[in-house]
Structure 1
Amino acid sequence: MAGNVLIICLLWACVSVCEREPAMFGEVSSPQYPQPYPADILEEWDLEVPQGYQIQLKFNHLDIEPSPNCYHDSLIVMSDKKVSPWLIFLTDDSKPKSHMGFNASYQAVDPKPLLNGGVRFIKGSNNEYHSVIEYYCNEPYYTFEGTPNVRYTCSEDQKWTADDNKDSIPPCVTVCGMNTEVSFGARVFGGMPARPGQIPWQLLHRSAPRGGASLISDYWALTAAQLVDRYENTNMTWLGGIIDGQDKNQVTMETEKIIIHPNYTRVGKGKEQKNFDSDIALIKMSARVPLGPNIRPVCLPKKTHESVMEGTMGTISGFGGFERGISKLLRYGHVQEYPLDKCELGDLPVTENMFCAGDDVKSVDSCTGDAGSPLFFPMLGYGTKEQPYELRGIVSWGPRGCGNEYSKSFYTKVQNYLDWIRETMENN
């Protein structure tokens, strides 16, 4: 009944709002029932059952003065996903004659399901005194934020009370920055092939324009604006959960929305980009991404005044070019951050929204086909539950040629866009 308004014609109700404590069952009737209801009244009832339960409303008797389009008397049942049902009984100033009004009963039925989780009895059953129900999230991919579990106990008067006295059930949020190795602690030129589940947030756009993205929730991904510029109204298909670009067992995701940062300079088709500032875009998928060991989100970073990789190394990944052309395998390599005087700037502007990274020793670099792919921290193999992997950079641009001794690439500094990311996700 969520989101619906049911108007039962035959009714209009001195204003009296009957607020009720949450109960497992109850009954409501029109004034003076079973005698005829009075004229010129407005009465309302807020029907509330214990937190987490659905409500079932049944009309046992209904006798209201008939009128076209509910002109005279009406009974309105309002319902919304966020509030309990609301009954409004309204009568006009004419005499209702012998109409008795209504009588209805309601009761709490099975606890409503929890998105990305569920509910179970851990003591007792049904609505017995001292019964205990527990809400849970589908671990290890979802969890309650700040609390291990949510329990309700049935009291003697059949009211359900949260053990922690909270007013509502918190949502199940995605667990980020974890991979299959946490328990023990553009292309990537010179990189090593990844194993299944090692970089589960890496997404691939296999067809032109070829590039990558990072899953940041079970609906959203981050990529480079240059990759999706001019494709906002196109249904782009992204692949996840794979380490081989030709794998047929991939998770396929279709885009619902593509939102490019407003400060990014758009270029027309076939024109060369001369300014990569704010090279960042959000992608919303058309359906919830089914999380699993091989496809999971990466965490967003926290704002910091330190260097992006805190003086140590991070990891870049992607399905871009390799020594023998475009790699069909997901590869990764470790890079460090460099000051600008160690990087080839060319004639493109460098802003505070970018940073430069690479590796002189092993010639590890991002390159063609890696645009939009992640640079994450800590370095692959060093993530823990206490320090999960965070998306620190997005592959953006670099000098021509990849993996040369002095070739390093520039990355969009994700921490500078945290407010924009969160506001955009909340509003879309």
Structure 2
Amino acid sequence: MSAMAGKVLIICLLWACVSVCECEPAMFGEVSSPQYPQPYPADTLEQWDLEVPQGYQIQLTFNHLDIEPSPNCYHDSLIVVFDKKVLRKFCGQNSTDRFHPGDKPIVVSGNRLRLIFLTDDSNSKSHMGFTASYQAVGCGDPKPLLNGGVRVINGSNNEYHSVVEYYCNEPYYTFEGTRNVRYTCAEDQKWTADDSKDNIPPCVPVCGMNTEVSFGARVFGGNPARPGQIPWQLLHDSYSSGGASLISDYWALTAAHLVDSYENTSMNWLGGIIDSKDKKAVIMEKEKIIIHPNYTRVGEGKKLNNFENDIALIKMSARVPLGPNIRPVCLPNKTHEPVMEGTMGTISGFGKFERGLSKILRYGHVQEYPPDKCNPGNVPVTENMFCAGDDVKRVDSCAGDGGSPLFFPMLGYGSKEQPYEVRGIVSWGSSKCGNKYSKSFYTKVQNYLDWIRETMANN
């Protein structure tokens, strides 16, 4: 076997004998031949695996190179290997030599380089070898964005002057108040926002959008919903009945009386369905239930005669996978106008229908009535409640609809300019729902906006 063939064999064997280092790659470092600056020894085989953190490019700069010159660096050589391929082979003593690297650094597209130093016994003179430095260049990988991503606009390998743009997973997520979020790899090797803002804005769920427009009748005997029409409607799965409204990809809004005494009990909710028996439902497990602190608790199975502050929040144990059939509804703005602004809104739920609870999600349209047009019985009515129904079409919420939404505008009239908002939560009403003149009472959501937002932010 020739000396050169032996060298090739040794190089090939090195790929199978690489030691693994568990340490964190350095941003920079130095490497030099054995005994540098003293002359290097004959019959030498040395290998260095240089690595900088993932996402950066590695740059190699030779500070000094003095290796015995020979045609094609046959005798002594320094070999630079990248991506399992020989990138360059160096020898010589000055930058005018054909095989000398000169003063220009070597930059590759990855974060690893391998150096192999080979010498034989033919060196008739004393040569010092080499010394080199390496460093990470570029800005590294841009920070990841939850519910979104990042794409390259200009440049490559996160190098200087590269431009990236963040985006949200539309149509279910969007940036709040902005559309384009671009960062440039600056001279200080940091991603710098074009608008000088350091923090990447979060992707927030798009609320109040559904997949189609339709018109319908009432919940009690009303029209069945179509897939994606009311994607924020949730169904109480662990117990007999009840609903909630998804208001983010973690949180849902419901009535306090529905979840009173269940804070320490397992509870699942179903979403993305219009059939309560649908086996493809998105199953959401609650992490915690937070009932309004001023709600008067009575406990399970006891009669409730006061529905003041009948509102609660449910936090799910995992992020809800948003899609065409499961999306949040918007929270309303505070207003001194009537809850439904003098027009009609829509109620929905899986509540009582003819002989029992409805297996199908139904909806109907209702209008707001002044308190003197409603019959509260012996239950006190406060400014945190309102009543709604439809005397003409006998539209009303019913048993089993508790916690479900009253949303505005009326189903079929939502748009990007006026997304659907949950204005009320089904709270209480007459046991004879569906009869003429029967109306139900709803928790006025706009009166609890501060509590809702603070609770979500703190939990």
Is 1:255 matched up with 2:280? no
Hey, what does 1:360 align to over in structure 2? 391
How far is the alpha carbon of 1:240 from its aligned partner?
A: 0.1
After superposition, give the CA deviation of every residue in 1:236-288 in whole Å (9 maximum; x if it has no partner): 01000000000000000000000000111101332100100000000000000
How far is the alpha carbon of 1:126 from its aligned partner?
A: 1.3
**Structure 2 contact 386–444 (Cα < 8 Å) conserved:** yes
How far is the alpha carbon of 1:164 from its aligned partner?
A: 1.7
Distance 1:270 1:233 in 2: 16
2:243 pairs, out of 209, 212, 235, with: 212
Distance 1:259 1:288 in 2: 18
The total of aligned residue pairs comes to 334
Hey, what does 1:278 align to over in structure 2? 309
Amino acid at match of 2:211: T
Distance 1:286 1:374 in 2: 22
Distance 1:207 1:158, change over 3 A: closer
Partner-residue secondary structure (3-state), 2:140: strand
Distance 1:105 1:144, change over 3 A: same
Is 1:192 matched up with 2:223? yes
Please, which moves more after superposition, 227-236 or 162-171?
162-171
Distance 1:166 1:268 in 2: 50
Amino acid at match of 1:254: E
Distance 2:400 2:146 in 1: 36
After superposition, give the CA deviation of every residue in 1:71-100 in whole Å (9 maximum; x if it has no partner): xxxxxxxxxxxxxxxxxxxxxxxxxxxxxx
Distance 1:174 1:189 in 2: 31
**Structure 1 contact 215–222 (Cα < 8 Å) conserved:** yes
**Structure 1 contact 211–319 (Cα < 8 Å) conserved:** yes
How far is the alpha carbon of 1:307 from its aligned partner?
A: 0.5
How far is the alpha carbon of 1:149 from its aligned partner?
A: 1.8
Distance 2:173 2:284 in 1: 20
Is 1:226 matched up with 2:257? yes
Is 1:165 matched up with 2:174? no
Distance 1:271 1:160 in 2: 60
In the TM superposition, what are the counterparts of 1:149-164 in structure 2 within 5 Å? 149-155=180-186, 158-164=189-195
1:325 pairs, out of 329, 350, 356, with: 356
Percent identity, aligned pairs only, is 81
How far is the alpha carbon of 1:291 from its aligned partner?
A: 0.2
Distance 1:288 1:129, change over 3 A: same
Hey, what does 2:146 align to over in structure 1? 115
Is 1:179 matched up with 2:204? no
Distance 1:386 1:240 in 2: 25
In the TM superposition, what are the counterparts of 1:36-115 in structure 2 within 5 Å? 108-115=139-146
**Runs of 5+ in structure 2 lacking a partner?**
1-22, 31-53, 58-132
After superposition, give the CA deviation of every residue in 1:282-338 in whole Å (9 maximum; x if it has no partner): 000000000000000000000000000000000000001112321100000000000
Partner-residue secondary structure (3-state), 1:262: coil
Larger Rg, first or second structure (1 or 2): 2
Hey, what does 1:334 align to over in structure 2? 365
1:398 pairs, out of 418, 429, 432, with: 429
Amino acid at match of 1:208: Y
**Structure 1 contact 182–385 (Cα < 8 Å) conserved:** no
Hey, what does 2:337 align to over in structure 1? 306
Hey, what does 2:13 align to over in structure 1? none
After superposition, give the CA deviation of every residue in 1:103-148 in whole Å (9 maximum; x if it has no partner): 9977753223110011111222113343210111100111111110
Partner-residue secondary structure (3-state), 2:141: strand
Distance 1:361 1:156, change over 3 A: same
Amino acid at match of 2:254: T
2:276 pairs, out of 233, 242, 245, with: 245
**Runs of 5+ in structure 1 lacking a partner?**
1-7, 9-24, 30-52, 57-102
How far is the alpha carbon of 1:194 from its aligned partner?
A: 0.2
Distance 1:147 1:54, change over 3 A: farther
Distance 1:408 1:118 in 2: 48
Q: TM-score, normalised by structure 1?
A: 0.74
Distance 1:230 1:341, change over 3 A: same
**Structure 1 contact 54–112 (Cα < 8 Å) conserved:** no
**Structure 2 contact 252–313 (Cα < 8 Å) conserved:** yes
In the TM superposition, what are the counterparts of 1:384-423 in structure 2 within 5 Å? 384-423=415-454
Distance 2:305 2:359 in 1: 29
Partner-residue secondary structure (3-state), 1:417: helix
Two-structure CA RMSD over aligned residues (Å) = 2.5
In the TM superposition, what are the counterparts of 1:126-137 in structure 2 within 5 Å? 126-137=157-168
Distance 1:269 1:157, change over 3 A: closer
Distance 1:229 1:104 in 2: 64
**Structure 2 contact 237–267 (Cα < 8 Å) conserved:** no
**Structure 1 contact 344–406 (Cα < 8 Å) conserved:** no
After superposition, give the CA deviation of every residue in 1:375-416 in whole Å (9 maximum; x if it has no partner): 000000000000000000000000121111110000000000
Is 1:377 matched up with 2:408? yes
**Structure 1 contact 178–296 (Cα < 8 Å) conserved:** yes
Hey, what does 1:292 align to over in structure 2? 323
Please, which moves more after superposition, 308-317 or 398-407?
398-407
How far is the alpha carbon of 1:160 from its aligned partner?
A: 3.2
Please, which moves more after superposition, 339-348 or 380-389?
339-348
Hey, what does 1:67 align to over in structure 2? none
